Structure 1
Amino acid sequence: MRLTVVGNPDNRRVRMFTRAALAAGLPRPTVLPWADVLAGAAPPPAGELVRVDSPGEDPQVDRMLRQAATTARHGELVGLADAYAGLIGGLTRVAAGGADLLNRPEDVAVLCDKRRCHALLSDAGVPVPAALPPVDGYAQLRAAMAAAGWARVFVKPAHGSSAAGVLALAVGPRQVQAVTTIEHTPDAMFNSLRVRRYTDESEIAAIVDRLAPDGLHVERWLPKAGLGNRVVDVRVLVVAGRPTHAVVRAAHGPLTNLHLGNARGDLDELRAAVGPRGWSAAMETCERVAACFPGSLHVGIDLMFLAGWRRHAVAEVNAFGDLLPGVLSAGRDSYAEQVHALTSGQWQRWRASLGAEPAREVVACGA
């Protein structure tokens, strides 16, 4: 059985998945570049198993995805709704030939829209932070916060990822403060790897108002538990319905993403703090989250334990959140785990248990 990977050929995820497939005795996956998909290349044929990877940081692909916002500079926080539409349109074209996608367009469409994803999880009884009704700018945001009695929120672009454009906003009696990766200039906003702190309310208002046309999702800022002098959360990878890999993300501030220079924490220490029953309950929650996306071989869940360690909540669910280098489960990294789920029939059995349409079986060469 042949595999195709839609992704940028030099992407680390693509290389690691290819190595995992070869190690399992599968033929080398065909790589279909995102640029070719968006330029109208023929989709993979019917019956082909297709893994779709993140479009990544390729400037050409970024411009092609954003379509109407082609004048935007790479990294500029504008045209995020256009990029989302381009992503879903590309996925739809990939699926048009009848290939069996390992991350179905309908799942990705929800996972990459924080508003839809939050609503789906909430309806399924998954613990998530409370969210405000839709807001179209800073004035409406402040009014909604006041009505809810909330002093601290996370303001998130509806279609953002990797903390791009997220503001951790705290409103006090004498000061408003926002922690964010946004680099704000008089004529533009850019995503950066440096966390900034803004205290000028007029500048914070300008940032929110600039983000608002592409859609905002606003959640209550819940106090996370901490280890030592850092707050922590956990990226949990769920493959074929089963939590497999976990990484603790430890930060001095509210944004815990590892690519922002934060540290990996000690998973054993965290599990000891949570206790066996608390950890088991959290993993059951992760299984429930994955069941909301039966067309996805894997999802990456950002799980937070609240101060006191007695409760947990799901902060994010990621369609492309499987890059966990150096983390092994049963001797397998995150990509070998996905290949194992395919070749062992685990993925097919899990989908059947959810009532999803049958999944094609994958066999290694010579099996």
Structure 2
Amino acid sequence: MSLSPSRALRDIGPRFAVVGNPENRRTTMFADAVRAAGHAAPRVLAWRDVLRGRYAFTPGELVRIDSPGENAEVDRLLRGTDDPARVEGTALWHCRFTAAVRDVTRAAHRACAVTSADPEDVAVMFDKRRCHARLAAAGVPVPPALTGPIGGWDELKDQLRVTRIARAFVKPAHGSSASGVVALEMAGPGRVKATTSVETTPDGRLYNSLRVRHYASEPEIAGLVDALAPDGLHVERWLPKASQGGRAADLRVVVVAGRATHAVVRTSRHPMTNLHLGGSRGDLEAARAAIRAAGGRFADVLATAERAAACFPGTLCVGVDILPAVGWRRFTVGEVNAFGDLLPRLTGLPGSGAEGLDTYAAQVAAAPAAARRAEREEHHHDTTA
């Protein structure tokens, strides 16, 4: 967790605050978990106020930094648009949001409060290019990716040809929830297919839709990529996924205080398995059995998620997307999500220490000890530096 220098944490535990949106489901579920643990209801500091500088913290508070969510007012402050469904503007969003997280963290430290996320961790997790590079440098298995900036469709085609990548995921560098993601298949000269939730209007604007659609016209796909490119693109090889019940499958593993506590299988008939795009929860026990049948261990999958989370040591909780290869024999990390804990009704894995707890209750339980442990490590670093 991100800590103020030399902060004594003797009195931390019962006082929580949330920087979030009062109407956001994540914020309300965390507040419910705090109350269920016997603590006073957390103070909720709305992002719309925080972004205008209207906030303050008190000594000893544990401050959860939550997602800004889909709020028109907040989106206008972060991206300059009133329409959260618009895809463009993610680079500006990243710049303003990460600056706000840094400001919040500094203010919390001045007040001798503790925040749930390190601002540099958040900045990297919300830049898919930097996140991929950090994971790869740490030896975490990740899909092969293009390097260097991509200015548009022509550059993308050239790089895919040179690297002999025929199937790729084209992702906005600062996107989330699969917004703007394009699953691209290059079958030959002039033969291309794109699967995406992006809807392109006649005037060229891009909107995130809840309906996954297909484009097979190169001029249409070129226009889509050219419109996404100014905000930055991360492009990685589309690795064929394992399947469950005839549907593509992957896993979201939640890691709290360094330990994998929750896991869910996500399945879809589309390349994107996000639940809000028509994906559904799969059968975790069936996935375990498939891994055993392939000669593997589910514990190794969890260990991979923990290795990925360890690349972001200042953040209490992350959601790690694990991509199982066909046959459930090999696993790579697709993404690490700063706000990847929205998994209602999912309780902790056996042996995780979070049995019977949802992802938010697990964070409430782990936060004080994690903060004290981080403080001890910081103190040790200060005394040995």
Partner of 1:148: 163
How many angstroms apart in 2 are the aligned matches of 1:44 and 1:250? 41
Asked if 1:272 is matched to 2:289, the reply is yes
Q: Which moved more, 1:173-182 or 1:151-160?
A: 173-182
Partner of 2:333: 314
Q: Which moved more, 1:117-126 or 1:99-108?
A: 99-108
Identical aligned residues as a percent: 52
2:244 to 227, 242, 260: 227
How many angstroms apart in 2 are the aligned matches of 1:264 and 1:274? 17
How many angstroms apart in 2 are the aligned matches of 1:288 and 1:352? 22
What is the one-letter code of the residue matched to 1:114? Answer: K
* Superposed CA offset, 1:118-159 (max 9, x none): 000000000000100231111000000000011000000000
How does the TM-score come out when normalised to structure 1?
0.92
* Superposed CA offset, 1:307-366 (max 9, x none): 1221100011100010100111111111111111124x25644x479x4568xxxxxxxx
- In the superposition, relative to structure 1, how do residues 207 and 357 fare at CA in structure 2: closer, same or farther (>3 Å)? farther
Partner of 1:249: 266
Partner of 1:78: 88
How many angstroms apart in 2 are the aligned matches of 1:84 and 1:71? 14
What is the one-letter code of the residue matched to 2:367? Answer: L
1:171 to 152, 174, 186: 186
Gaps of 5+ in 1: 359-367
How many angstroms apart in 1 are the aligned matches of 2:185 and 2:297? 29
How many angstroms apart in 2 are the aligned matches of 1:313 and 1:199? 29
1:237 to 254, 257, 267: 254
Instruction: Give RMSD over aligned pairs.
Output: 1.6
Helix, strand or coil: the match of 2:297? helix
Partner of 2:300: 281
1:191 to 208, 228, 243: 208
2:72 to 40, 59, 62: 59
Partner of 1:104: 118
Helix, strand or coil: the match of 1:307? coil
Contact 1:51 1:101 in 2 (8 A): yes
Partner of 1:296: 315
How many angstroms apart in 1 are the aligned matches of 2:158 and 2:77? 37
How many angstroms apart in 1 are the aligned matches of 2:342 and 2:125? 17
* Superposed displacement of residue 9, structure 1: 0.6
Contact 2:241 2:325 in 1 (8 A): yes
Partner of 1:136: 151
Partner of 2:131: 117
The runs of at least 4 consecutive aligned structure 1 residues that moved more than 3 Å come to 71-74, 346-349, 355-358
* Superposed CA offset, 1:186-226 (max 9, x none): 22110111101000110100010001000000000001011
Q: Which moved more, 1:130-139 or 1:109-118?
A: 130-139
How many angstroms apart in 2 are the aligned matches of 1:146 and 1:197? 22
How many angstroms apart in 1 are the aligned matches of 2:276 and 2:256? 23
Contact 2:266 2:274 in 1 (8 A): yes
Asked if 1:180 is matched to 2:196, the reply is yes
How many angstroms apart in 1 are the aligned matches of 2:264 and 2:197? 22
Contact 2:73 2:82 in 1 (8 A): no
What is the one-letter code of the residue matched to 2:196? Answer: T
Asked if 1:339 is matched to 2:364, the reply is yes
How does the TM-score come out when normalised to structure 2?
0.88
Asked if 1:4 is matched to 2:20, the reply is no
| Structural mapping, 1:9-24, within 5 Å | 9-24=22-37
